[in-house]
Chain A
């Protein structure tokens, strides 16, 4: 159900926080103006966001973000090491990840996460949105990579973004 005054309850505080960060001050004026903008912008861009984003388990999302940050750190070191060792040691491969996620935001989150983490870039989403093609720079075992992506990243996103 959509409320006409507050169509996107999550977008409002997010925009307010971004505004406060932009202004770089925590004065009451900045916070009030941020909240005002956070209220007005979703209202005026309503047609651009037809679906309301629902977060079912915010704590799972938080844990997911921490896991991803840790993986980004490890990925950076791994890719840096690969680059320094030289192009002879890479084992590039394309893998197809079958998707269980159906919502736009869920798929975007997963694709972005894959691009940010260990030597993988999401390259292509099939037109029926059932599979995501991922390019990996050093893939020893393609099946294992698919399993890792599904277990480590997709499972928590399913819990957070999918409607019951």
Chain B
């Protein structure tokens, strides 16, 4: 019973991670590519971590809390790196399907003077 639940969690996690990577490859422009890895992976890694937590809490003596920390760090760092990538892309005027808002261009032009 426990093994079945763990297997489901691990498979679900793996599937979401795969879909995240697939998004990176399939999407047409830089900004859309960002979404796959930043989102689909949170659930993917999340279910893998829950599986790990249950497994190590039942196998060894004592409860395993390490995974909460991994989740915490992931939730803090993933959006920051996505923001930085996106901001750098706006600054470099990476080709996008839709035009970025006027404000960005104006501020950038001011900075370069």
Contacts and interface: CB of A to CB of B under 8 A. Distances in A.
Interface of A: 18, 20-22, 24-25, 72-73, 75-77, 79-80, 82-84, 86-87, 90, 92-96, 111-116, 119, 121-124, 126-127, 131, 133, 135, 137
A133 B100 contact: yes
Given A83-B22, A92-B31, A133 B42 contact: no
Interface string B42-58: 11000000000000000
A126 B102 CA distance: 11
19 contacts: A18-B72, A24-B66, A72-B42, A72-B43, A76-B43, A79-B40, A83-B22, A83-B23, A87-B26, A93-B98, A94-B99, A94-B101, A115-B38, A119-B39, A122-B79, A122-B82, A123-B31, A123-B87, A124-B87
Contacts of B75: 112, 116
Nearest to A79: B39
Given A79-B35, A116-B39, A123-B87, 17 more contacts: A22-B69, A75-B39, A76-B43, A80-B16, A83-B36, A87-B28, A87-B32, A92-B29, A94-B98, A111-B83, A122-B82, A122-B83, A123-B86, A123-B89, A133-B101, A133-B103, A137-B27
